[in-house]
Structure 1
Amino acid sequence: MDDAYPVQYAVEYPDRPLNRASTFFRLFAAIPILIILGMVSSGTWQWTHETGTLVAAGAGGFLFLPPLLMILFRRKYPLWWFEWNRELHRFGNRVVAYLALMDDRYPSTDDYQAVHLYYQHPDVPNELNRWLPLVKWLLAIPHYIVLFFLDIAAIVMVIIAWFAILITGRYPRDLFTFVEGVIRWHNRVLAYSVVLVTDRYPPFRFGP
């Protein structure tokens, strides 16, 4: 039985000397691309209640409520909505990998570079339960708790890798694998609970 999860993520290990100067100034160098990512990831849906209360709902730049409603009422996930979510997801991952020092090439807005994130456009009538998107965010709460602690550990690993790269020019492979695994875990949970491309519950594991 194939146990591969339908959301696949990997970063090519940089088996070469990494740029020390770029590594040292990484947080400052990333500011322009973070601004761009923030601009395309700041979408919300807003309306004003009769009482004058402003209500907002959204999931960053991901289209969340529209696909949810389409899956619920029409059993469809429009292809262009799916492609927007997937490409934004990929772009965000390139920026995260750059911040995590996993690649010293500046994040591209369109080329995949060393970061690979794959999932397919779902066949909604056959692959997705129309009611499950209403509660996926709630079902994923155990993952949120685990990822909170894993994120803290990953930040520590990146700091250690920062010193290692400055001294040796290399990203220790064990640290790289751990950080990659945490990001992979995040991607599976996000694809399940927000992007809504699969009903298969994310596994509690680092590997593929």
Structure 2
Amino acid sequence: MMNAVRVRGAIDAPSRWLWLVKWCVLAVPHYPILIVLYLVYPLLTVVAGIAILFTGRYPRPIFDFNIGVLRWSWRVMNYRFPMNSTDEYPPFTLAARPDYPGELEVDYPEQLTHWAVLVKLLLALPQIIICWAMEPLLQVLCVISAVRLLATGTVSQGMFDLLMGIVRWRYRVAVYVSLMCDEYPPFRMDLGSGDT
């Protein structure tokens, strides 16, 4: 397990019908902000890569910003598709919110391998391909989960655990590709609602 990256989520009694408007109405104010943040994110990752190449350190302000972007996007995903696991509205912040039902944390690396920035993207290609290949499965599973929520008023724990496993895999790969750790992400899903 990659301890440097922790993605937490739990089923937090979502309403049976609210998911119908979350993604197309309620979450909409987050979308333009996330678009801007994700335009800045790769540029700052390149700047961080140059810094790592020469110093072996990820500049802390850039690290905090980039983790904040991943954290914000995870909270929105936890609120709407693919998770639909909470009705608590995601906060508009890059900062950690341990009280929110979905949270993402990444340990700050005190030292990174200088030369690894030159090969991490290449090394991550198999992981990236797997994550892209899992995307259609993720979409199908989230639709099945949403229909079940509408029909029964509950989210299946098994389906939620599977979705969490896919999401955790994706975020571990994103952290590695974004040069935030040297530990290669494992080829596995960590299922369940725990903090892994």
Task: Output the TM-score relative to the length of structure 1.
Answer: 0.82
Verify the 8 A CA contact 1:129 1:199 in the aligned structure 2.
yes
Q: Which runs of 5+ in 2 are unaligned?
A: 191-195
Which structure has the greater CA radius of gyration? 1
Once the two structures are overlaid, the 10-residue window that deviates more, 115-124 or 156-165, is 115-124
Change (3 A) 1:97 1:146: same
Q: Which of the residues 11, 15, 28 maps onto 2:24?
A: 28
Higher helix share: 2
Trace 1:45-194 onto structure 2 (pairs within 5 A): 59=42, 63-98=44-79, 99-100=81-82, 101-110=84-93, 111-112=97-98, 113-124=100-111, 128-194=112-178
Between the aligned partners of 2:22 and 2:163, the Cα distance in structure 1 is 17
Q: CA deviation at 1:4?
A: 4.5
Task: Output the TM-score relative to the length of structure 2.
Answer: 0.87
SS at match of 2:51: helix
Between the aligned partners of 2:30 and 2:2, the Cα distance in structure 1 is 32
SS at match of 2:18: helix
Between the aligned partners of 1:155 and 1:136, the Cα distance in structure 2 is 27
In structure 2, what residue type is equivalent to 1:198? C
Change (3 A) 1:138 1:4: closer
Q: Which runs of 5+ in 1 are unaligned?
A: 44-57
SS at match of 1:116: strand
SS at match of 1:63: helix
Verify the 8 A CA contact 1:154 1:178 in the aligned structure 2.
no
Q: CA deviation at 1:170?
A: 1.0
Verify the 8 A CA contact 2:78 2:102 in the aligned structure 1.
yes
- How many correspondences in the alignment? 184
In structure 1, what residue type is equivalent to 2:52? I
Between the aligned partners of 1:148 and 1:4, the Cα distance in structure 2 is 20
Once the two structures are overlaid, the 10-residue window that deviates more, 100-109 or 133-142, is 100-109
Structure 1 residue runs of 4 or more that deviate by more than 6 Å after TM superposition: none
Between the aligned partners of 1:197 and 1:177, the Cα distance in structure 2 is 26
Between the aligned partners of 2:125 and 2:2, the Cα distance in structure 1 is 22
SS at match of 1:25: helix
Counting aligned pairs with the same residue, the percent is 28
Q: CA deviation at 1:41?
A: 2.1
SS at match of 2:44: coil
Verify the 8 A CA contact 1:68 1:133 in the aligned structure 2.
yes
SS at match of 1:106: coil
Between the aligned partners of 1:27 and 1:75, the Cα distance in structure 2 is 40
